[in-house]
A and B are shown apart, each in its own frame.
Chain A
Amino acid sequence: MASLVITPRQTSGTTSNWMIDASLLSALSTETNIIANWLDELRRPSPTLVGRTEAPTLESRVFDALAGAKVLTSQVAMHLEQEFRNRLFRQLDSLHETDQWEEGDEPLDQSSFQTFLKAILTIKPERRPGLGLSQTGNLIAAWTTERDRLTIEFLPNDGVSWVLARYDDTDEPARYAGQTSVSQLVEGLAPHRPEHWFSHAGKNHEPSR
């Protein structure tokens, strides 16, 4: 069980300075939790970015979005190939060029990007997707094999929305769509043989089931 430890430090004066160590803060009041967090951050030697000193512009919002995404990627970098990571960053940078920006769009949502990383680390596609952004900053990954298309939008809080179209040598495609949690993405795509898009083997003549 987690414990709460309060350690007094005696100074040379008549007052005591208290450092609060808390491994679980839920038992404390909101005010005490805020103070404990401040103190905890002061004690940590790791760099901590607490806040900007100026109001956010589009450029600063884009910078923060990209920086945040790269930090999130570093948390799983040990599970990614270096080349994949490098190219992912190039794609993200390209998506966020401000001279290509459409007014009203939001930069990459960090929670969406976390969902994307979970999906990619689970699927481990051989073929890299093309990337896009929704109006609200959700990352979109697109795989295309000839005319067949698989598009996945990564939603905040582990949600995914996908749509696919398979022509299977016909003029009219079969279209399917789904919306699930990211943990169910593989299961949801399985009937449609997603290796048709994810693997280098190329077009798979097996139709969706």
Chain B
Amino acid sequence: MTEQPYREPPITEAVIELRFAAPLETGEVEKVSAALKSLYPLHQPVKGVGVHLDVPPGREGATTAQPIETHGHKLSTEDQTRIAVVWPAQFIFSQLAPYPGWDVFFERFCRDWALWKRTLSYRKITRIGVRYINRIDIPIETTPIIQQEDYLNIYPHLPPPLDPVISYSVVAQVMIPEIGSILTLNSSSAPSPLLGHAALIVDQDIAKERDPPQNDEGIYALLNQIRVKKNEIFEACITSRTRELFKPWQA
């Protein structure tokens, strides 16, 4: 039996992210990207753009915005499903659908992280995060209205005069004290890429920022603990009707 409970798991993207206390130098970014090229046939430089806003209290009209530009490298497989992104202050490791299961995903992370460390050695880690984005495609049958509570246990609760909604987004942050992490849980409606379907998103981001482990043993143990938690949380967020949409493997 596969480790995955579903034939058509709704995962659209799974991400492991490590953040570092001190950004890498440009040469170091290039060095680790060059090393990773041996594992990924496609490679392109990427640029991130952000802005820093300074709002003096009581003098909002004097707000200033400073653009921030960062340069990194995106490496991927030919089919664009396995991705590694090297930014100066982050190492991002991503898997797009089809999701191959935790064991395969985690093994690839361990491989790439080991190569990263062999190339650059130890850097202090300030955040370890795991994010899973799920898209639940719901067939619209006779009526264009779907009841979120038929499919999810996380949705906005509105008084009757305001129902039905045409779109929604719910965000909650929850402590997971047993692993010292914080869960950011997003649920929202979205257009489905399938005809005759609506989509609901369940997006979990579990991160440890307080004293994240610094050695491999600790990192790997945390990631496996997060994996268990995210599975529990996901199952708690969906209904049995939703599970049927993923075509569970028969026991």
Contact = CB atoms under 8 A, between A and B. Distances in A.
Interface of A: 1-2, 14-18, 21, 23-24, 35, 38-39, 41-42, 45-54, 63, 67, 70-72, 74-79, 82, 85-86, 89, 114, 117-118, 121-122, 182-183
Interface string B98-141: 11000000000000000000000000000001010101010000
Nearest to B127: A45
List the 4 shortest-distance A-B pairs measured between CB atoms, nearest first.
A23-B169, A70-B80, A45-B17, A74-B96
Contact of A17 (B50, B55, B99): B55
Contacts of A117: 193
B87 to A, nearest CB: 9
Nearest to B50: A42
B57 A182 contact: no
B98 A71 contact: no
Q: DSSP majority for the A interface?
A: helix
Nearest to A40: B50
Interface residues of B, number: 60
B79 interface: yes
B53 to A, nearest CB: 6
A52 B193 CA distance: 26
Nearest to A53: B45
A35 B46 contact: no
Interface stretch (B5-13, B22-30, B175-183, B235-243): B5-13
A17 B53 contact: yes
Contact of B205 (A45, A51, A79): A45
Given A24-B169, A78-B97, A70 B79 contact: yes
Nearest to A5: B171
A182 B195 CA distance: 8
Contact of A38 (B10, B45, B50, B196): B50
A39 B46 contact: no
B94 A23 contact: no
